[in-house]
Amino acid sequence: MDPQVISQLLDRRAQDRPLGRLTPREQEVLELMAEGRSNTAIAARLFVTERAVAKHTSNIFGKLGLPPSDDNNRRVLAVLAYLDRG
């Protein structure tokens, strides 16, 4: 089978999973969130502003289908999705 076709199929499969929709930077941010780091600590680690981290976090929530809610902590739910990626 053509390696390019295989690559496209794997990419499409990854996009079907919510975590597969995240950019590499969003994946980094989510990994640091899973380590328990605050937005301030994530910004320092990645050499970006806290505003950039907040934007990445917002994108993560959107891509994982986690709308704002008074009943749920989206940060915890995002980390649980990350931990359940296996």
8-52 pLDDT per residue, tens: 554 544 445 789 999 999 999 999 999 999 999 999 999 999 999
**Model pTM score:** 0.78
Three-state DSSP state, 14: helix
- Sign of the CA dihedral running 68, 72, 73, 75: negative
Provide CB contacts within 8 A for 37, sequence distance 6+: 45
Residue type, 60: I
Residue-range domains of the chain with CATH: 3-83 (3.40.50.2300)
Tell me the average pLDDT across 67-82: 92
